Amino acid sequence: MTNNKLEKINAIRGMNDILPKESFQWLRLENILHNLMAAYGYLNIRTPILEQTKLFARGIGEVTDIVEKEMYTFSMSQDKTDMLTMRPEFTAGIVRAAIEHSLTFDRPQRLYTMGPVFRHERPQKGRYRQFHQISVEAMGFAGPDIDAEQIILLNRLWKDLGLEDIHLELNSLGQVSERLAHREALIKHLEKHLDILDEDAKRRMYTNPLRVLDTKNPDLQKMANSAPKLFDFLGEDSLGHFNEIRKRLDEAGIEYTINPRLVRGLDYYNLTVFEWVTGSLGAQATVCGGGRYDGLFELLGGKPTPCVGFAIGLERLLSLVISDSKSETIKNLFTEMGPETDIYFIYQNVEASRKCSQLAELCRNNGFKAIVHAGSQNFKNQFKRADFSGAMYAIIIGESELESNTVSIKQLQLNPDGSSIEQTTIPTCELVDFLTKLTNKKDA
């Protein structure tokens, strides 16, 4: 006999299923984030997962890791003229949408979105190929007040979540002209050290010399440390912008480190850039990254519109909250999934099952969560399922209840004070009132 069993099909590496025992944590985190956004006047926007490849190539920059090697890109046409890419981040797509729909025509916009993004990186703990971000973008704001406000918003979030081991790194990349002057000086410096540069550095030194300083190669650290500092090329306005942010952070009591090597992996930034890093997540320590991108609107065909924004990696944030939160409320919120239902209906035969379905609808009308058992009619099995569901009460319709138009109620879990009611049988028409009195449901 041949074995006809078909092979099982697994998920793609680096792309994770989020099962119910984790999904409730995602819902709670997302809920906290939606509320935080509302508290600062940010409106929700949703853009497509697929965009034209040129949006990211132009927006993020041709010579970035993301565009060079991490994008999921394909074409659906024979002649490959319509290259499509699964978004590796949100910012470029949101700017595209803002230009396309003239969102910043008559007033600035505070926008945010949450969802999956895709990068073909080498998967490891905290680094995935499909991961989730909340991306927060303030569009049409030039002043340092908004940069500072976003950092203050983030600081509030860490506090609300009970996170203590998370630290702000801050830098200014200046304006394009300042960067160009620095770039020339930097290329000269790299040329002086040509003999020690690795292949990556040599490849990038003329296209993206700033990124060379971001090298992980220990042999290049000394050269990187002695390179000309962009800070020394910043003019009065750029320094003024930076210093105003610093003042506001100092006033808010937010500590930070100025990291002149912080350049970020996307090319659209100018002036402010920042990252929040933790010591509690191992190698993938960056929980949030962002900064100013005043030139992106123009780069994507729009009118000049100064912007600032950031994105948080939600896998990293959630894992930090679960492992590291110092708040008891948050710890409980992320440990206790809670019962699946308030009431579990159990029955003896098909007629009773029909009656249970009708009664369950009535209970739901009155604000209760209700599950009607489905499957085996064996009473023992049904009670097992009812227990497993975490329901407070089982409602039972056996033959005698059917005959007398009654239901039996059995309490399955103890009340918080340890008490419980005796199993009792009541007329069917009194069920909702009875449950309402028992549970004090306000919405009933």
Where on the chain is the footprint of ligand HAM (CB under 6 A)?
Answer: 89-91, 119, 121, 127-128, 131, 133, 135, 137, 265-266, 286-291, 293, 309-311, 313, 315-316
CB of 367 to ligand HAM, least distance (A): 39
CB of 395 to ligand HAM, least distance (A): 45
Closer residue to ligand HAM in complex, CB, 128/345: 128
Whether residue 403 is annotated as binding a ligand: the answer is: no
Whether residue 272 is annotated as binding a ligand: the answer is: no
Residue number of the CB closest to ligand HAM reads 313
CB of 373 to ligand HAM, least distance (A): 41
Whether residue 269 is annotated as binding a ligand: the answer is: yes
CB of 384 to ligand HAM, least distance (A): 39
CB of 333 to ligand HAM, least distance (A): 21
Retrieve residue 127's tokens: 């680094």
Closer residue to ligand HAM in complex, CB, 14/228: 14
Q: Give which of 376, 378, 371 is closest to 357, Cα–Cα.
A: 371
Closer residue to ligand HAM in complex, CB, 287/370: 287
Alpha-carbon distance of 357 to 353, in angstroms, equals 6
Whether residue 203 is annotated as binding a ligand: the answer is: no
Residues with Cβ within 8 Å of 196's Cβ and at least 6 positions away in sequence, in order, are 219, 220, 223
Closer residue to ligand HAM in complex, CB, 209/309: 309
Closer residue to ligand HAM in complex, CB, 164/169: 169
Q: What angle do CA 34, 40, 46 make, to 5 degrees?
A: 45
Q: Give which of 151, 171, 167 is closest to 259, Cα–Cα.
A: 171
Q: What angle do CA 227, 229, 235 make, to 5 degrees?
A: 150
Whether residue 206 is annotated as binding a ligand: the answer is: no
Pairing mode, strands 343-347 and 393-397: parallel
Contact predicate 103/297, CB 8 Å: no
Whether residue 264 is annotated as binding a ligand: the answer is: yes
- Residue 167, φ and ψ in degrees, nearest 5: -130, 145
Whether residue 268 is annotated as binding a ligand: the answer is: yes
386-to-16, 52, 236, 420, 421 alpha-carbon distances in Å: 30, 50, 69, 17, 17
Q: Which residues are part of a known binding site for L-histidine?
A: 89-91, 119, 133, 137, 264, 268-269
| Binding-site residues | 89-91, 119, 133, 137, 264, 268-269
